[in-house]
Amino acid sequence: VGRDHKVGRRLFTLYDLITLCYGGSIPQHRIITANTSSPDAPKLPSVSVSPSAEIVEGSSVTLTCSSDANPAAKYTWFKENLLKGQGQSYYFPSIRSEDRGIYYCQAENKHGQIKSLQHLLDLPSVSVSPSAEIVEGSSVTLTCSSDANPAANYTWFKEDEDSPTASGQIFTISNFSADHSGRYYCEAQNTRGRHNSTLHLLVVTGKLLTFTCLHVSYTRGFVQRLPGGSKLRMSFYSKS
């Protein structure tokens, strides 16, 4: 008769249950509220990103890890299997292109541990060819790279211009002039969102002038003797 029986979140003796069945009442001091919070290992964590919209290089970004666990879980952050930090949130005060990559968190308490699904934090990056100084009249190629999945579509913009400059992952300026100088960036967009690269400054350094002469008295500059004769070739840059 004294054995306890749980009904909902309350414990009753068999005598109490019989009393209730016959329409009786039980004094409040005899009712015991059961503790239904049982120990539990962490459930599969979820990763959220703030802001959830477009991520721009230089802005602040926060990754947050959440998991149901009892007792509460402790969290550890990894980037491509490298330990990055601990705590429920991982904060980028000023995110850079080198921060792009695959992140995940691990939730752990004394009953177990579990890793979240991988989360791709993507920022497009721009590379320029040639990487040295740009000479007027030369060809310049900008390439936009992104780890987006599904694959991204790319659009190129020049700062302070409303219309796009070009589309496609590769943007080539075949005859670079002073008018092309400026700050460029690319936008990578797929069905999951869009991200902008940082601004990349392109500046023409001068005209490449080449001439050939028989006698040279200059002591500075790049001098090359031509094969098969005594002629010399000098190359120099003019700022005008």
pLDDT for 150-164, tens place per residue? 788 999 999 888 899
Assess if residue 222 is contained within a domain. no
Number of residues in the chain: 240
Same domain, 185 and 200: yes
| Least confident range of 21-30, 49-58, 196-205 | 21-30
Can you tell me the mean pLDDT for 66-72? 93
pLDDT for 165-175, tens place per residue? 999 999 999 88
CATH number at residue 152: 2.60.40.10
Assess if residue 185 is contained within a domain. yes
List the domain range (segments joined by +) for residue 85.
46-121
Same domain, 50 and 81: yes
- Residue with structure tokens 């211009």? 161
The tokens of 88 are what?
């429920």
Same domain, 147 and 84: no
Same domain, 114 and 132: no
Same domain, 152 and 103: no
Is the backbone peptide bond immediately before 93 cis, with ω within 30 degrees of 0?
Answer: no
The tokens of 166 are what?
């070009």
Cβ contact 225:212 at 8 Å:
no
Q: Above 60 in pLDDT, residue 36?
A: no
Same domain, 64 and 132: no
Using CA atoms in the order 96, 97, 100, 106, what is the torsion angle rounded to 10 degrees? -20
What's the structural domain count of the chain?
Answer: 2
Assess if residue 64 is contained within a domain. yes
pTM, to two decimals = 0.51
| pLDDT, greater one: 207 or 193 | 193
Assess if residue 214 is contained within a domain. no
Q: How far, in Å, CA of 67 to CA of 107, rounded?
A: 7
Same domain, 184 and 130: yes
**Helix (H), strand (E) at residue 236:** strand 232-238
Assess if residue 160 is contained within a domain. yes
List the Cα angle 237/198/188 in 5-degree steps: 115
Q: Residue 221 in 3-state DSSP?
A: coil
All residues at 6 or more sequence positions from 227 whose CB lies less than 8 Å from its CB, including other chains: none
